[in-house]
Amino acid sequence: MPDKIKKILIANRGEIAVRIIRGCRDLGITSVAVFSDCDRAAYHVRLADEAFHIGASPSSESYLNQDKIIDAARRSGAEAIHPGYGFLAENAVFAQRCADEGIIFIGPRPETISLLGDKLQARAAALEAGLPVVPGETIEGDDLETAISKADKVGYPILIKAAAGGGGKGMRVVHRADEFENSLQRASSEARSAFGDGRVYIEKYLERPRHIEIQILCDQHGNAIHLNERECSIQRRHQKVIEESPSPVVTPELRQRMGEAAVNIALKTGYVGAGTVEFMVAQDLSFYFLEVNTRLQVEHPVTEMVTGVDLVREQIAVAEGTQLRYTQEDIKLDGHAIECRIYAEDPQNGFAPSTGRLQHYRIPAGPGVRVDSGVVIYNEIPIYYDPMIAKLVVWGSDRAEAIARTRRALQEYRVSGLKTTIGFHLAVLASERFVKGDLSTSFLTEEYPDNKYEILDDDILRSAAIAAALDKFTHERKIALNSGDGNRRAVSLWRNHHRRDRLRKFERES
Amino acid sequence: MPRYLVKVEGREFDIDIGYHADGFNVMVDGQNVDVKSHSIGATRSVLLVNDRSFEVDVHPNNHEEGRTVFMLGVEINAEVEQYNLAQLRKRAGMTTKSAAARNLRAPMPGLILEVKVEPGQKVARNDPLVIIEAMKMENVLKAQADVTVKSVNVARGDSVEKGDIILEFE
């Protein structure tokens, strides 16, 4: 039996750090948190067994600072580092650095991370492994004329994407040939400024595609399995906001074909650990390889809910060198799970970040509900990091029950002090199209072109008005009571009225 | 009986509040409404409106008449005015100037990427005013009302703190 890991440093913050700390505790592993200046009172610091300060609030000086994280690992005596997602999770240099320092990096090998992190190389690997890819062309080093003829060959509409890209940056849809030159230049310059790498490639643009991905799990002994799909078509700014498993359109036969394709690329690239193979699925259900995310995904809990597999536990087991304890036949698909990402954002205002202090915070509970929250009451939401504060993950015996339970849980959520996406989720989950499962990555722009997510009926507005009026009433009354004998106001209403009137005149005149 | 005119999300309610030993007497738009309110802390209360149960959290916002109500997982902004004053004001043909119509404040700390207006310019509701970069995202700040820009307090490249006044309106 390989040696068990006894102590893990979690090089992350927020809900994913909390998730991994919980995984460690389940296994009797000591957890080590790291934190920046503004995260001194963060939830992950409070839950961890040990915590190390690693620097100033900007992530470049803390969560992205490899020296400080390695130093914290050394000082704590952790044998392994779990990177979570984001920050250093897909950084091949960091993975290599851990290996050089004799620390286990819980994730794939550095070579695999760097191969799959490059979209062009990943695409080539997918082709080699026999996966269907979206028709496309690389245009590295081409002159404009060659690029134009390649675009014509792919056929419009096309998508221009950054080779080093992610998160929608440097991505452009081109509908007509006369827009191509301009879009190419802009995509390339955006890619250069965002990733320091101006290489772009072009792809056939699929109309109203779905985003469906396969969770994979591989050990160091050449065993690889898949854990079904997740549908993540509900996106804003090319980022997922609602995910579910299974997909409402994937049949057992399609699941098997997509799963086998995912396992094939994992085997071809010597993948180790948990990962995700992302596909675009056309309306006719033909699927195309998109990319491999070499990390634990944000939305991993929906897979955990329907398969019963604890992905963090399996990641740690794989890192220890044990063989997978599941075969493909062991992986079941039980019921339906939905995840809503709760962001500190204002959905009515283009999902602008909403920072501030959580003056009240209470998470829902009840049958089927799991909340992976990175915050607790009175926490400040810092400006430095991703504004996702929690994930609401709900299980039901079928999709309809999962939707009903998710709506119930969203209604139970209480957040005061900042705007969140809770109301947005309620609106989407009540929409006919979502309930029917008629999804695509352009769902939100099609259904809510002006960002209006209405969930407030007249009854609710009237109650809000009463609450506001009562607050004003009791506030005024309290002032009167505190400042006199209760019968007389310390300040005459007439004086107030006159003052106010003067102020208004002043305002009008100025 | 204090009487208020309350504006919520474009709706107006005429709310009359009386207080007696057992609770409140509330009339909304001339109709009796059964209201029970039980305080559960400085700002929060359980509110029963005709027996429908709400948990509300009411906070002052940046002007005297303003209240922010958090309920059902959403934030609702309300303006509460003395009813008589509101009537006087309406008769005089004046509108309330909400905070949003007086100035534009930075909703978050960030970097000014672009200022799309200049002093004297008339803008319509939802016109883009300023683009601010925060949390690695570009955020377009839009006009909340039809206003005329009086002054521009920032320039491209400036850093702003949350609450800083970026633009003032006439």
The yes-or-no verdict on residue A497 having pLDDT over 80 is: no
Calpha distance A74→A78 (Å, rounded): 7
- Going by pLDDT thresholds of 50, 70 and 90, the confidence category of residue A82 is very high
Residue of A nearest to B48 (CA): A463
How many Å lie between the alpha carbon of A436 and the closest alpha carbon of chain B?
25
Beta bridge partners of A10: A33, A82
CB contact under 8 A, A466 and B162: no
How many Å lie between the alpha carbon of B4 and the closest alpha carbon of chain A?
7
Delimit the domains of chain A by residue range. 7-106, 135-204, 208-334, 474-509
CB contact under 8 A, B11 and A349: no
Fold topology of A208-334 = D-amino Acid Aminotransferase; Chain A, domain 1 (3.30.470)
Instruction: Annotate A13-31 with three-state secondary structure.
Output: CHHHHHHHHHHHHHHCCEE
Calpha distance A131→A289 (Å, rounded): 6
Name which of A414, A462, A474 to mutate to probe chain B: the one with the most chain B Cβ atoms within 10 A of its Cβ.
A462
The yes-or-no verdict on residue A167 having pLDDT over 80 is: no
Radius of gyration of the CA atoms of chain A, in A? 26
CB contact under 8 A, B8 and A497: no
Radius of gyration of the CA atoms of chain B, in A? 20
Residues of B in contact with A413 (CB under 8 A): 73
What is the reported pTM?
0.83
- Going by pLDDT thresholds of 50, 70 and 90, the confidence category of residue B147 is confident
Q: Which of A455, A465, A470 sits opposite B24 (nearest CB)?
A: A470
Given CATH 3.30.1490.20, say whether it is the number of domain A135-204: yes
Q: Which two tokens stand for residue A402?
A: 């999962």
Q: Which of B43, B47, B55 sits opposite A414 (nearest CB)?
A: B55
Angstrom CA distances, B113 to A346, B105, B156, stand at 20, 15, 5
Residues of A in contact with B101 (CB under 8 A): none
Instruction: Annotate A264-285 with three-state secondary structure.
Output: HHHHHCCCCEEEEEEEEECCCC
pLDDT at A490: 45
Percent of chain A with pLDDT over 90: 74
pLDDT at A310: 98
Fold topology of A7-106 = Rossmann fold (3.40.50)
CB contact under 8 A, B57 and A465: no
Name which of B71, B74, B126 to mutate to probe chain A: the one with the most chain A Cβ atoms within 10 A of its Cβ.
B74
- Dump pLDDT digits (tens) for A361-403: 999 999 999 999 999 999 999 989 999 999 999 999 999 999 9
CB pairs under 8 A between A and B: 159
Predicted ipTM of the assembly: 0.77
- Minimal CA–CA distance to B13: which of A307, A416, A462? A462
Beta pairing class for A104-105 and A80-82: parallel
A15: amino acid identity, one letter: E
The yes-or-no verdict on residue B78 having pLDDT over 90 is: yes
Residues of B in contact with A360 (CB under 8 A): 43-44, 57, 70
User: Phi, psi at residue A382, to the nearest 5°?
Assistant: -75, 160
Q: Which of A386, A423, A500 sits opposite B74 (nearest CB)?
A: A423
Q: Which two tokens stand for residue B147?
A: 């206003």
- Dump pLDDT digits (tens) for A174-211: 999 999 988 888 888 888 877 778 888 898 888 899 99
